[in-house]
Chain A
Amino acid sequence: MKKLALLLAASALASAFATSAWSKTLVYCSEASPEGFDPAMYTSGTTFDAASRTVYNRLVEFKHGSTETEPGLAESYTISEDGTVYTFKLRKGVKFQKTDFFTPTRDLNADDVIFSFERQLKADNPWAKYVEGGSYEYAEGMGFPKLIKSIEKVDDLTVKFTLNKPEAPFIADLAMDFASILSKEYADKLAADKNMVQLNQKPLGTGPFTFVGYQQDAVIRFQANADYWGNKQKISDLVFAITPDASVRAQKLKAGECHITVYPNAADVEGLKGDANLTVASQEGLNIAYLAYNTTQAPFDKPEVRKALNQAINKQAIVDAVFQGAAKVAKNPIPPTMWSYNDKVEDDKYDPAAAKAALEKAGVKDLSMKIWAMPVSRPYMLNARRAAELMQADFAKVGVKVEIVTYEWAEYLKQSKAKDRDGAVMLGWTGDNGDPDNFLDTLLGCDAVGGNNRAQWCDKDFDTLVKKAKVTSDKAERTKLYEEAQVVFKKQAPWATIDHSLVFVPMSKKVSGFKVDPLGYHRFDDVDVAE
C-alpha cells in the first residue's frame, strides 16, 4: 500500500513537470471527428484540418488565406514546353517529425514523394489497399491515375512527373490534401512490423505540428514541430476539442473553453459578435449554389427563356430567408475569392415585369415546370426546400407554375444527372483546389454532361475557352480566358446562380494571425494566442 502511495506521488511529480510545458496552447473546437489520418483516403474538410494541414506538407502549398499557391516542399519547379513534364526541386534538409512512435533517421528525399503518389496511382502497390475498404477517392476523382504517366527520381532532391496530356491546374492539384507527402521510412517500418494501418492512425510528416494523440470523438492533440523547415510556430500546443453541436461550440467559446471555433449557427452569429471578448471573422466560402435548367429540353433550350426566368427570381429574398443574411447573392459560377472572378459581369436584375414580357416575347405561355429541392442542408444551401418555395412564389408572379420535387439524397444525386431529367435542379459545389477549372470545366464543360454538368449544357464557345485555359500554363493568359468564359456563361444562362454562403469563424480576441481560408481549411500555422 505504501509503495502504491509512493508511486502515485512520484507520478504526480513527474506529471507536474510535464504540464509545466503547458505554455501556449491553442484550443480549437472542431465540428466533427476526423475520419482517419491519411488525408489521401478521405474527402472531408474535417479530416484535412486534422491531418493534412497540421502534420503534413505538400510539394506546393496554398498561400495562407488565398487560393494561390506558393512553394512548399519543392522550392522550385520547371514545366516543359509542351506542358507535360513537371520537374520539382526539393527543399534540402527538411526533417520529418520526431515522435514517441517513430524516430526518423533521414531527411526528406525523392523517395518519399514517389511513395506518397504511387500508392494512389498503382493498383499493385503494396499500399494501394492497406486499409480494408479504403480507397484513394480524391486522386481517383481528380483523374490522377489517368493523368500521370510516370514519376521518376532524377536525384535525391529532384523528382520528375510526366503527364499524359498538358494540364494547367496540375500545380493547384498538388497543393491539395491528397497530395500530402508522407515518410517512406516510416511506412517501410510499419510494413516490416505488419502494422500498416497505423499510417492512418498515427500520422507523421514534415508539417508545422507533430501528432501527439487522438482520443476518439473527443480530443486530438498536436505539438509544435521544433524542427519545422518553415516559420517557428508561436504556439506550443494545438488541441482540437471535437464538439459536434454548434450551440455547444458557441457556449464553449464564450466560456473560454476554446479559443476558436467554426460553423456557428447562423442565429448565434449576432450574439457572438456582441461579445466583448470575441471577434467573428467572415468571408465568402469557396462555393456556389445554383439552379440548373435542363438546357436540352424545350423551352429551357432557349437562352432567352432561361434569362427571363433568372430575372424572375428574387435572390436577395432567398439569401435573407435561408441564411439570415449569411450569404451573398451570386452572379458568376465561381466565388469572388477565386482568382479570375469577373466582377464586370452584370447580374440579371430582379424584375418580374421584364421577365414576364421576355417570356411572352419568347412565345412561352402557361409554362409549368418542376424544381428539384435537395433533401439535405448543405453549406451553400442551408434549406433548399425553403428556397424552392420562394422561387415557386417568384415564378408564379410571372405566370410560371412550379411543382417542387425532392428525393432521398443519394437518389437525388443520381437522378439529377440524367440527361432527360424533367425540371430544374437545385444543387451546388464546394471547390477543391481554388482553380477556376475546378468549377468552370468540372461543372459546365461538355464532357461533364450526364455527370456533374446538371444543366446538360454544352456550349461550343464556353467549352473552347475553358479547355484552352486548362492546357495553358501562363496564369495571366488563363485569367483572361476564364473571365471571358464567365461572360459567355452569363449570356447563355444555363444556371440561375443563387448564392455563395459566408463562412464565419468566431474566435477569442486573444487569437491573432488566424486567416479565414477561402478554400475552407482551418489552418493554425503561424497563429498566436495571448496568455
Chain B
Amino acid sequence: MLRFILGRLAILIPTFIGVALIAFSFIRLLPGDPVMLMSGERVMSEERHAQIMHDLGYDKPIAVQFVDYLGKIAHGDLGRSVVTKKPVLDDFKALFPATLELSICAIIVAVLLGIPAGVIAAVKRGSWLDQTLMGAALVGYSMPIFWWGLLLIIFFSGFLGWTPVSGRISLMYFFPAKTGFMLIDSLLSGQKGAFSSAVSHLILPTVVLATIPLAVIARQTRSAMLEVLGEDYVRTARSKGLSPFRVVGFHALRNALIPVVTTIGLQVGVLLAGAILTETIFSWPGIGKWMVDAVFKRDYPVVQGGLLLIAGIIMIVNLIVDITYGFINPRIRR
C-alpha cells in the first residue's frame, strides 16, 4: 500500500511542476500588460511604465521569472495581486471558504439525493419510477446551469420572493468570520435568525451547483447497482430468502458504492468549474468569481496563483480518491 501511495506521489510532483509552468506561461501569453490597463485612459510616461514593470519584476527574462516563481512557491509565496496589492494567498484564504461551503453543501445534496435515486431506479428497473428518475437525471446532466440559475432567481426570488437574490447572509447580521463558513459562523455568533438567513441564502446556489453532480451520481449509482445485482452472490442471497432490503442495503450497495466513490471524487473538478458560473450568477464571493475577474483584469499573479491552487486542490483530491479506491479495491494496487 505504501508503495502504491509513494508511486502516486511521484507522479504528482512532475505534474504539479507542469501545472505551475502552464499557469505561469499562459499568463505571459495574455495580450496587454496589467500596468497599462491600470492607468487606462490616463497616459503614463514610458519611464514610469518601465519603472513599475521593473518594480514588479516583469522586465526580467521569462526563464528567470519562472525560476524565481518556483522558488517563491516553495516558500508559500504566490505573489501579490497587481490590482489590490494583497498577497494572492491571503485573498485565496479569504474567499475559498465561501466556495468550499457552497461545494460541500452541493455535494451533500447530490449524494443524499443521488444515491437513493440511483438505488431505487436500479431496484425498480424498467418501471415508470426508474424512467422518471433517470429522465430527470439526464435532464440535469444536460442542464446549462447558468441558465438554470437565472430561471431559479426569476421564479423563487423575483416572482415568489422566497429566497434572497444574492449574497451569503442578510446584511442585518454582522459578526466576525471565525471559520469563514457562514453556516458555522452564524451559529457561533448566536444571533437570532442568523443561521436561517445563511441557509436561505445558500439554497439556490446549492441547487444550481448540485444539479450536474446529482445527475452523474444518480446515473452512476444505478448502473453500478445493476451490475452488482446481477452478480451471483446477490442472486444467492436473494434465493436464500433474505429480505430485499437487506440484499440491497447490505450486500449490493456496499459493493456498488466503490465506483460511486470515485465518481464523487471526480466531481471536484466539475464543482469548481460549476462554481465559476454559479458564483457569477449569484454574486457569491468565492474563488470562481475571483478567477473570472482576474482574467478580465489581466491580474497576472492572481490568475497564475489561482490556477495553481485550484489545480493543486483537484490533484490532491484525486490522489485521495485514488488511495481510498486502493483501500476499498485491492485489485488495482499493482
Q: Do chains A and B touch in the complex (CB under 8 A)?
A: yes
Measuring CB to CB, which residues of chain A are less than 8 angstroms from any residue of chain B?
A: 8-9, 11-12, 14-16, 19, 22, 25, 27, 33, 35-36, 41, 43, 131-135, 137, 140-141, 200, 212-213, 215-219, 221, 239, 241-245, 248, 251-252, 255, 257, 378, 408-411, 413-414, 417, 427-430, 448, 451-452
What is the CA–CA distance of A14 and B190 in the complex, to the nearest angstrom? 9
Chain A, residue nearest B170 (CB): A257
Least Cβ distance of B275 to chain A in Å?
Answer: 14
Which residues B185-211 have CB closer than 8 A to chain A? 189-192
Shortest beta-carbon contacts, A-B, top 6: A410-B32, A217-B285, A410-B36, A12-B190, A11-B190, A216-B94
Least Cβ distance of B273 to chain A in Å?
Answer: 19
A35, A135, A430: the one contacting B84 at CB < 8 Å is A35
The interface bits of chain B over 292-309 (1 if a CB of A lies within 8 angstroms of the residue's CB, else 0) are 010000100000000000
Is B166 interfacial (CB 8 A cutoff)? yes
> Cβ of B285 and Cβ of A255 under 8 Å apart?
no
Q: Which of B43, B52, B161 has the most CB of A within 10 A?
A: B43
> Cβ of A12 and Cβ of B39 under 8 Å apart?
no
Given A36-B86, A135-B55, A216-B95, answer yes or no on A255-B174 (Cβ-Cβ < 8 Å).
no
> Cβ of B166 and Cβ of A428 under 8 Å apart?
no
Is B101 interfacial (CB 8 A cutoff)? no
> Cβ of B80 and Cβ of A132 under 8 Å apart?
yes
Name B's interface SS: loop
Residues of A within 8 A of B107 (CB): none
Least Cβ distance of B166 to chain A in Å?
Answer: 5
Least Cβ distance of B87 to chain A in Å?
Answer: 9
Would you mind naming 15 contact pairs between A and B with Cβ atoms under 8 Å apart? A11-B190, A12-B191, A19-B172, A43-B40, A216-B285, A217-B95, A242-B283, A243-B166, A252-B165, A255-B157, A409-B32, A417-B43, A427-B41, A451-B45, A452-B41
> Cβ of B166 and Cβ of A134 under 8 Å apart?
no
B86, B91, B283: the one contacting A243 at CB < 8 Å is B283
Given A217-B285, A217-B289, answer yes or no on A135-B94 (Cβ-Cβ < 8 Å).
no
Chain A, residue nearest B48 (CB): A140
Given A12-B191, A35-B84, answer yes or no on A216-B41 (Cβ-Cβ < 8 Å).
no
> Cβ of A218 and Cβ of B285 under 8 Å apart?
yes
Chain A, residue nearest B33 (CB): A410
Residues of B within 8 A of A134 (CB): 85
What is the CA–CA distance of A414 and B161 in the complex, to the nearest angstrom? 49
> Cβ of A133 and Cβ of B283 under 8 Å apart?
no
Is B255 interfacial (CB 8 A cutoff)? no
Is B171 interfacial (CB 8 A cutoff)? yes
Known: A133-B80, A137-B39. 4 other contacts (CB 8 A): A243-B283, A252-B166, A255-B157, A410-B298
The interface bits of chain B over 39-72 (1 if a CB of A lies within 8 angstroms of the residue's CB, else 0) are 1111111001000100110000000000000000
